[in-house]
Amino acid sequence: MRQQVDRFRRAYQKRSATDDEATRRAFRRLRQLQLIADHIESSAAFLLGSGIVPERQGGDDRLAIERRVLESLEAERERLVREVHDGPAQVLANAIFELDYLERLTERVPTEVRQGLRSEIASMKAQFRSSLDGVRAMIYDLRPPVISELGLAGAIRTYVSEYESRYGLKVLVQLEERETGLDPQQELAVYRIMQEALQNTHKHARATTVRVEWERDGPGAWVLRCTDDGIGFDIVRAARQQRSVGLLSMRERAELIGARFDLRSSPGQGTTVTVRLIAQRDEP
């Protein structure tokens, strides 16, 4: 079993630079096989009474794979930022300028059609501006946060402030500002999970208030908790839906940084997303 896992790992490493659905599926399968192999080895050692817990093999390789997956995800986000900024955002901005020009030309048309023309142009401008605001909001979400300058708590606070003004949703924050001792990739993954949780709240929860907490959870341990007062949902039913990409994304990011992901919800009871993790490096 271990030899098969190692063969699969080497095959995955050859294509892990890409970020398509087949690669993500391969990574999930690789993680499952690794966990199964570790569990079988541990169980065998216990049943045989050897008293020795087998050492996990390929730990460094596994960490390297996980880092590469996270880096490829961020690289893909940066590529999308450039493409969306130079594509749809520019097209919409130019269309608004063109409508401004057409609006000025309406002065030359007969009076009986002028008002109807102005009304149509105003409606189109409103739609384009709304679409442009949505595209700009997507670009803002895709851009990497300045965690190195603000710290993780500061980056979360900045995003929450933008989120409140954009969606009009009240967000209560409780953030511990001290140095985390976490690896940069861990901090970035926590930030992305927080983003995804808040976006899910905006899209689906019909909530009025969200609480975001980032605090100590024991020596070297931290916990992120996002709780809303929305309509909640049936977790089992949601898990069976193939379109629950947001939930899968949060869980996978948590697993990539060695964190424990917990989702609690039920109809009418709101939703809580919790991520607990341990620092991979010593604290100062």
Over residues 23-36, the pLDDT tens digits come to: 777 777 777 777 77
The residue-averaged pLDDT of 5-12 equals 76
Q: 146-278 adopts what CATH topology?
A: Heat Shock Protein 90 (3.30.565)
8 Å CB contact between 283 and 219: no
Assign 265 a pLDDT band (cuts: 50, 70, 90).
Answer: very high
CA distance 152 to 191: 7
Q: What is the largest CA-CA distance in the chain?
A: 96
Beta bridge partners of 276: 223, 260
The residue count of the chain comes to 284
pLDDT the model gives residue 206: 93
Per residue in 83-142, pLDDT (tens digit) is 776 777 788 888 888 888 888 888 787 877 788 888 888 888 888 888 877 777 777 676
- Burial status of residue 164 (CB atoms within 10 A of its CB: 0-12, 13-18, 19 or more): middle
Angle between helices 184-200 and 245-256 (to 10 degrees): 160
- The mean pLDDT of 252-265, rounded to a whole number, is 88
With contact defined as beta carbons under 8 Å apart, do 185 and 70 qualify? yes
Tell me what the mean pLDDT of segment 12-24 comes to: 67
Which of 65, 82, 56 is closest to 27 using CA atoms?
65
Tens digit of each residue's pLDDT (9 = 90 or more) over 160-216: 999 999 889 999 999 998 888 888 888 889 999 999 999 999 989 999 999 999 999
Domain boundaries, the chain: 2-57, 77-140, 146-278
Distance CA 176, CA 213 (A): 8
- pTM of the predicted protein model: 0.62
For residues 59-80, average pLDDT: 65
- Note the pLDDT of residue 60: 56
**Amino acid 11: pLDDT:** 76
pLDDT at 190: 93
The β-bridge relationship of strands 170-175 and 209-216 is parallel
**Per-residue pLDDT for 271 more than 50?**
yes
